[in-house]
Amino acid sequence: MSTYSKEHKDFLKKLKRKKYLVTLTQFSIILLLFLIWELLSRFNIINTFLFSSPSSIIKTILNLMITNNFLNHIFITLKEILISCILSFGIGFLIASLFWSNDFLAKVFDPYLTILNSLPKVALGPLIIIWVGASINSIIVMSLTISLFITIINLYTFFSNTNSNYIILLKSMHATKFQIYKKIILKANLKNIINTIKVNVSMNLIGVIMGELLVSKMGLGYLIMYGSQVFNINLVITSVFVLAIISSILYYIINYFEKKI
Amino acid sequence: MQENILKIQNLTKIYHDKSSETLAISNLNIDVRDKEILAIVGPSGCGKSTLLGILTGIIPKSSGKIIFNGRKKIGYMLQTDCLMPWRTILENALIGLEINKKKTKENIKKVNDLLDKYGLHDFKNKYPNSLSGGMRQRVALIRTLATNPDILLLDEPYSALDYQTRLALSDDLYKIIKDEGKTAIMITHDIAEAVSMASRVIVLTKRPCQIKNVYEIKFENSALPTENRKAKEFNHYYDMIWRDLDVHL
């Protein structure tokens, strides 16, 4: 490292400074927004009953922690997200691999996938509750209907668009289909697979909250629903706020793994 | 007379699609001699690559026979180097052995030796993106040699490279083929490359692909390709093949 020229060190410094500047500006924007929000509510320019305020969000969070087991709500939602992510990604991965290995299946199921993917899933809500029952299972099934099909479609598109030269090369070496899958398809698409996981997680986040809005006794979606029913806007906004934090944490976790690869 | 290592007899290939059929190769007969470098030139789109595809077994033939003298193994080298960016140079060179489940200690050592011999020792554990285009092609050639094929099929090798590197690499390729005692069938659209490297040049017609002419290339002082380009016979062969190809714009 010490062998770099002075110019190069300057260049690296500049690069680092630019990165810091971006992060700093990002934080400043959010702080500024919160500050304006707080000030507006302090001086009664906006109605805190309708719009809440950063300080009351913090108060609500502390309150919920003590009286209402807020962590439990967060934990339940996280658990539901995790289960649906694993299920939908696992099943999606299997089906996409199957479609890649069997052109006939892919062709047969293509229109079904498209229809299922574009169907508004909320419409299925009542049916899911009736069929699966008013439990956590309903929420997970709801989430699956939202995330599974797009996962299959994305992965299958990536798999079948793999650089054909690699495949020709391996075929000329008399590779089996499974060898091509293992050594080319999975490896060449590593980045794409991680991107699919990103989409999958955010889809499941949507799915789980939607499921919780429809049927639940716990979780952030439940708190939002409950808050809106009793007109406790503080509770609604606080839950949304925590949700935003959760989704950004999930995003950074995946990003971390992406960089490691 | 050298022994034939491969016979292509009455080979025909028809491509089918919904609205038409295309006769790509029609009744082609080629004998490939042991340890020769055979260059095949022809107008673009004449079915040269299809021919190699059929020889490797990737593309099914419509009719005709391909007879190997004994159980001959084939090594295929594509236009691009096809090095996998997620594998190191050594791992890239070993892929053929991995696929054929022949990754024995002995074979790994052989690939290591090849890499050492052809100046890639320091790059074994590097990834392809740190190598120049010329070196990448050399790795691709070693990858092809790793499975110890008897016949090399070269589909416009180096066509993706710049002119200087190509010239240098054609010497390289020539030496490696001769050193390792291989037979090579090389497809190219570069007449100079064909004449300077090959011992025989087959000129193909436009689609459907048939033989137009065959030239035995003989240089008085046979040497490396770059030297051959300076020989007095070179232009003679070049002109004849140029006329055969009959290029009209």
B65 Cβ contact list (under 8 Å, min separation 6): B7, B8, B9, B10, B11
In this predicted structure, the answer to whether residue B248 has a pLDDT above a threshold of 70 is no
Q: CA A33, CA B205: separation in Å to the nearest integer?
A: 73
Q: Which of B88, B95, B102 to mutate to test the interface with A (most CBs of A within 10 A)?
A: B95
pLDDT digits (tens, 9 = 90+) for B134-164: 888 889 989 998 888 888 999 887 777 788 8
Please name the member of A165, A179, A187 whose beta carbon is closest to the beta carbon of B86.
A187
pLDDT digits (tens, 9 = 90+) for A7-60: 888 899 999 999 999 999 999 999 999 999 999 999 988 888 888 889 888 988
Find chain B residues with C-beta within 8 A of A171's C-beta.
Answer: 56-58
Query: DSSP string covering B138-162, please?
Result: HHHHHHHHHT--SEEEEESTTTTS-
Are the beta carbons of B82 and A165 separated by less than 8 Å?
yes
Contact A143, A84 (CB under 8 A): yes
Q: CA B147, CA B114: separation in Å to the nearest integer?
A: 12
Contact B237, B201 (CB under 8 A): yes
H or E element in which residue B174 lies = helix B163-179
B24 Cβ contact list (under 8 Å, min separation 6): B13, B14, B15, B47, B50, B207, B208, B209
Please name the member of A166, A173, A190 whose beta carbon is closest to the beta carbon of B147.
A173
* Eight-state DSSP code of residue A36: H
Could you tell me which of B67, B49, B57, B62 has the C-alpha nearest to residue B185? B49
pLDDT digits (tens, 9 = 90+) for B78-125: 888 889 999 999 999 999 999 988 888 988 998 998 898 888 888 989
CATH code of B4-245, in short, is 3.40.50.300
Could you tell me the strand order of the sheet in which B74-77 lies?
A: B74-77, B151-155, B183-188, B37-41, B200-204, B211-216
Interfacial residues of A (vs B; Cβ cutoff 8 Å): 165-166, 168-175, 179, 183-184, 187-188, 190
In this predicted structure, the answer to whether residue B249 has a pLDDT above a threshold of 70 is no
Q: Where are the beta strands (DSSP E) in B17-59?
A: 21-33, 37-41
The pLDDT of residue B190: 84
- The whole-number average pLDDT for the span B18-27 is 86
C-alpha to C-alpha distances, A98 to A113, A159, B150, B188, nearest whole angstrom: 14, 11, 36, 39
Q: CA B78, CA B152: separation in Å to the nearest integer?
A: 11
Query: With left for phi above 0 and alpha for psi between -120 and 50, is residue A224 left, alpha or beta?
Result: alpha
In this predicted structure, the answer to whether residue A77 has a pLDDT above a threshold of 60 is yes
Both structure tokens of A39: 């000030």
C-alpha to C-alpha distances, A35 to A38, A41, A81, A89, nearest whole angstrom: 5, 10, 32, 40
ipTM of the complex model = 0.85
Are the beta carbons of B84 and A184 separated by less than 8 Å?
yes
Q: CA B249, CA B241: separation in Å to the nearest integer?
A: 17
Contact B18, B38 (CB under 8 A): no
Chain A nearest-CA distance from B78, in A, is 7
